[in-house]
Amino acid sequence: MNHPTVVQQMKNKLQGKDFLRIGDFTKEELMDLIEFAIKLKNMQKLGEPHRYLEGKTLAMIFEKSSTRTRVSFETGMFQLGGAAQFLSSSDMQLGNGETIADTAKVLSRYVDAIMIRTFGHDIVVEMAENATVPVINGLTDDAHPCQVLADLMTIYEKKGSFDGLKFAFVGDGNNMSQSLLMGCAIMGIDCYIAVPEGNEVKQSVLKQAQEKAKLSGSSVVQTYDPHEAVKGVDIIYTDVWASMGWEGDKEERLKLFADYQVNEALVAGAKDDYLFMHCLPAIRGEEVAAEVIDGANSVVFDQAENRLHAQKAVLASIV
């Protein structure tokens, strides 16, 4: 296969496009990115060079701490032949009152793309509106598209197709669940989300996902019953109960989410060959039992690895 031709085809479709929400992309575009990511993964395993971003630079702005996001983007740019610059908000003029718009305009004069991991989604949107280079959302309080692309890639690798799959998220109606239900809806995966009352996904997100599900012939259902959600599913996913910014409410949330732990009793309702997924970091004994996350059905480290390959596909396509 002529891989440079594949890269050019991807650039013809996506070059210059921002990567802010998974819902901004069509099923065809996401499938192209997944297949491209798998090609890049195979090239790396075979030791084949794929320096498609030679001489390009990525600015990485972090207002939230990270392990996987920083290392995967930095490593990805290196493997693609480019360079990545880590920028903590405390080390930038952004932390001293410079506007997001001015930061975006200045960085656009220096680098070829900007990745930002921050709190409010409006910050990422404003960055993209003012930058003249592509902007990638490394995570906001509303969305985590990079993680979901890697998750969809992992599901496709393990199951071979998205057709007829059932997916359940058990936990909080947070950025992960909102992005996951959108990704499932676009790709045609039936998605069930079980949350405690008062912790639902945003109504606007749920409505949009349900509209996209109709187009793909799938369904999106929100429930308060985790056992109902996981019945007969192919994939079970969870996330920490106290995400960044909620640490002060941890004790209260532990009580609220106590019935939503993914444990052996809960996963018994899924198919025998179900996949257990988690975006990590995980807290064993809270949102997931050690027997599940460390069990034979767990693919959490495959997910983590695929962050590298999925993001390389995004970078090589849009930059």
Residues in the annotated binding site: 66-69, 93, 117, 144-147, 175, 239, 243-244, 279-280, 307
Catalytic pick among 21, 253, 307, 309:
307
Catalytic pick among 142, 151, 234, 239:
239
Residues 6+ apart with CB under 8 A from 34: 149, 152, 153, 156, 310, 313
Catalytic pick among 18, 112, 144, 190:
144
239 is catalytic: yes
279 is catalytic: yes
DSSP assignment of 141-205 equals SS--HHHHHHHHHHHHHHHS--TT-EEEEES--SHHHHHHHHHHHHHT-EEEEE--TT-PPPHHH
Q: Tokens 């496009």 correspond to what residue?
A: 17
Catalytic pick among 117, 253, 278, 309:
117
Q: What's the N-to-C CA distance of the chain in angstroms?
A: 22
The closest of 154, 177, 139, 182 to 22, measured between CA atoms, is 182
307 is catalytic: yes
Q: How many whole angstroms separate alpha carbon 118 and alpha carbon 49? A: 32
Annotated binding residues for L-ornithine, as ranges? 175, 239, 243-244
Catalytic pick among 79, 147, 222, 303:
147
Give, for 42, the enclosing helix (H) or strand (E). helix 27-45
Catalytic pick among 191, 279, 309, 311:
279
117 is catalytic: yes
Q: Find out whether 40 and 75 touch, Cβ atoms under 8 Å.
A: no
Annotated binding residues for carbamoyl phosphate, as ranges? 66-69, 93, 117, 144-147, 279-280, 307
Catalytic amino acids? 117, 144, 147, 239, 279, 307
